[in-house]
Structure 1
Amino acid sequence: MSKMKIIFDTDPGIDDAMALAYLGAQPRAELLALTTVFGNGGVDITTRNALYLTQRFGIDVPVYRGAHTPLVLPAPTPAPHVHGYDGLGDIGALDGFVAEPQATFAPQCIVELIREYPGEVTLLAVGPLTNLALALELDPEITGLVKEVVIMGGAFGWGPRRGNVSPVAEANVINDPHAADKVLTANWPIRAVGLDVTTQSILSTAAARELGRTAGETGQFLFDISRGYEKLYTQRDGFAGCAMHDVAAAIAVFEPHLFGYARGTIRAVTDGIAIGQTILKEEGRSFPPGPWDDLPVQTVCREVDVEGVLSAYHSVLSTHYGGLKTAV
């Protein structure tokens, strides 16, 4: 079975942990590196969480610490009501855990790995896009060497929620809109997995509990850390479950047929009342000249086979982790 080389750019994060568990279990994934960024916590927290999760899930992959602030704006205020103060649900899992990342700065690692494997690397980015923007600054030519850039980010107007931080802005984009605009307008192949599909990809309480039964200690751990995360969705959206934002993006890498797509040029708004909004000018639609002209055409997810995503997640985790022992 041929494997796909993946750099996972992440800010763990509960749904990041869910996505990493999937990548560690996915037999077609060859994880080259985890690169961390601020977002669901400060970069020291997200880096520690990445180190912890790779050990807990038994994933042998180096972790590289990345950006701690956006390109232009101040660092965002943490939101512990979403992921907890420790980023992993405040269940005490990280008590006493200490480990150190690799010495290389994450954007430099991204450049080096893309250069080492030209045409083979998929960048899967599920946090603010600062590391990718900094990698572009270090070496603009990587745009012609990467296989694909799959991002969890944005909202384009098809789904049930156009924003989760403001009425129009998704969290990863608004946390560094300047980086997002730089990445989305670069001449490399992008597939954006936004709120249009991720807010439909709901892991119900019953399904999460079932994974706790079938996916061994990893499944139970994911259930435990997501209790507060799920409570937020129950209070805000009125359903018993949680959105698998980053999981949907990870599954899109390997199961692209589970999604429907639109094509066009993309911009991220970098100031004003709509800061963080993502704007898609679809192919074939005519407008007066504007800031979306003469840009590379990218791909945006607009539809999702929810049952297919849930089935793929359950199958991969249960097959791999069922019966496995915790690594730490």
Structure 2
Amino acid sequence: MDKRLLLIDTDPGVDDAMAIQFALGLPQFDVQALTTVFGNVAVELATTNALRLLHLAGRADIPVAQGAAHPLAGAFNGGAAFVHGDDGQGNTDYPPAPTQAVAQPAAELLAEVISRHPGQVTLVALGPLTNLAHALRLRPGLVHEVAEVVVMGGNAFCAGNATPAAEANVLSDPDAADVVLGADWPLTLFGLDVTQQVNMPGAVLDELARLTGPLSAYVGQMVPFYRRFCERMRQIDGIFVHDATPLAYLIAPELFRFVHHPVRVDTSPGIGRGKTWPAPSDPAQLQRPALRPWLGRPNVKIAVGVQGSAVVSRLREELLKSNL
């Protein structure tokens, strides 16, 4: 079986941890590297968390490169301890892994891995898009070398979750998101339009929490903190599995429905900051003066529909099977 090569850019994060657990456990995937970025936590802690996840999975051979500590413009906003815990891992407070990140910055490693395997690497972005923007500036030709870019972020046709206007990953660095969504590479966007329809209920979480593999047991211990947040603030039973949703697409694309539009991101300092704005995909309409900011932008493949229960079933099945 030909494996899909993955490079995961991440800011772990409880749901990031579950996504990485899923990616490492599937025989269809070959994870080439993890790159870390500020977001749910400071980048140094994101790196510590990424190294621990790989160590517990017995995959310390996978390199981790530390990336951006702050947005392209402005400062790091302090993260989301109220969602993911002070350690970003549900306040599990596990010791760090005995391994270290490589010396190479994330943007350099990202560009190197993609260039080493032209047309074969799927870049999965689970946090703010700052590392991707830096990599594009470092090596613009990446747009022709990557197989696909899969982004968890944005809210094309629905309200945000960080503000009424914006989703958290994009709001963390709207300038980088506008660069990445405007690059001429094959990009698929999984925003709140679909990830908030993928609800892993409490009964499934309880089942997964009984897994005994080192990584599975660790994730099982961190999920309750995030679950309490989702149940209290989102009024759901269980959790939204935001970051694992785009990985589910890579093995079961038939569970999703898509539209294609050029997208701009609001980079203003106002109340709309971070909103992802699709425009009509018809080039003739983009000639209208009001739509000129979208003119010349490539179409983005935007997920707008999902069979949420089927995605949860597939995630559950694979996580139980792998029990890393």
Q: State the TM-score, normalizing by the size of structure 1.
A: 0.93
- Aligned counterparts of 1:41 and 1:92: Cα–Cα separation in 2: 14
**8 Å contact from structure 1 (residues 72, 178) kept in 2:** yes
Deviations 1:219-271 (A, max 9, x none): 44323201111111111121221110001022122221111001010111111
Counterpart amino acid of residue 124 in structure 1:
V
The equivalent of 2:276 in structure 1 is 278
Q: What residue identity is the alignment partner of 1:74? A: A
Between 1:198-207 and 1:175-184, the stretch displaced more is 198-207
Aligned residues: 318
Name the stretch that deviates more: 307-316 or 176-185: 307-316
Distance in 2 (CA, whole Å) between partners of 1:8 and 1:223 is 21
CA distance in 1, matches of 2:97, 2:182: 39
1:172 is matched with which residue? Answer: 169
Contact 1:215/1:319, CA 8 A, preserved across alignment? no
Identity %: 38
3-state SS of paired residue (1:186): coil
> What is residue 43 of structure 1 aligned with on the other side?
43
1:96, 1:260 → 2: CA distance? 40
Does structure 1 conserve the Cα–Cα contact (< 8 Å) formed by 2:55 and 2:97? Answer: no
Q: Write the mapping of 1:141-220 to structure 2, written as runs, cut at 5 A.
A: 141-158=141-158, 162-213=159-210, 216-220=213-217
| 2:279 alignment partner, SS class | strand
Deviation at 1:77, TM superposition (A): 2.0
Question: What stretches of structure 2 of length at least 5 have no aligned partner?
Answer: none
Deviations 1:267-296 (A, max 9, x none): 111112211000111424836232011111
Which residue of 1 is the match for residue 62 of structure 2?
Answer: 61
Partner SS for 1:169: coil
Cα separation, 1, equivalents of 2:215 and 2:280: 41
1:199 CA displacement: 0.8
1:74, distance to aligned residue in structure 2 (A): 1.2
Distance 1:86 1:21 in 2: 18
* Alignment correspondent of 2:305: 303
Aligned to 1:70: 71
Give the aligned partner of residue 251 of structure 1.
248
For the residue of structure 2 that corresponds to 1:291, the secondary structure is helix
In 2, distance between residues paired with 1:169 and 1:284?
Answer: 25
Task: Give the drift of 1:213.
Answer: 3.0
Q: How far apart, in 2, do the equivalents of 1:96 and 1:148 lie? A: 32
Cα distance in 2, alignment partners of residues 147 and 51 from structure 1: 26
C-alpha separation in 1, matches of 2:136 and 2:299: 18
* Pairwise CA RMSD: 1.5
- Note if 1:16 corresponds to 2:24: no
Q: Report the more deviating stretch, 269-278 or 217-226.
A: 217-226
Using a 3 Å threshold, how does the CA distance of structure 1 residues 247 and 80 change in structure 2: closer, same or farther? same
Which one-letter code corresponds to 2:298 in the other structure?
P
Q: Deviations over 1:147-168 (max 9, x none)?
A: 110000000115xxx1111101
Q: Relative to 1, partners in 2 of residues 1:179 and 1:19: Cα closer, same or farther, differing over 3 Å?
A: same
Query: How far does residue 98 in structure 1 lie from its aligned partner after superposition?
Result: 4.8
Q: CA deviation at 1:130?
A: 0.4
The residue that corresponds to 2:112 in the other structure is: 112
Q: 1:301 is aligned with what amino acid?
A: A
Q: Deviations over 1:14-42 (max 9, x none)?
A: 00000000000111101110000000100
Q: Name which of 316, 319, 322 aligns with 1:317.
A: 319
Once the 2 structures are TM-superposed, how far is the Cα of residue 100 of structure 1 from its aligned partner?
A: 1.4
Q: Give the SS at the match of 2:92.
A: coil
Residue pair 1:216, 1:318 contacting (<8 A) in 2 also: no
Amino acid at match of 1:46: A
Q: Is the 8 A contact 1:9 1:126 kept in 2?
A: yes
Query: Structure 2 length as normaliser, TM-score?
Result: 0.94
* C-alpha distance 3-15 of structure 1, shift in aligned 2 (>3 A): same
- Please say if residues 262 and 282 of structure 1, whose CA atoms lie closer than 8 Å, have aligned partners that are also in contact: no
SS at match of 2:122: strand
Q: Which amino acid aligns with 2:90?
A: G
Q: Does 2:219 match 1:222?
A: yes
Q: Report the equivalent of 2:102.
A: 102
Unaligned regions of 5+ residues in structure 1, if any? none
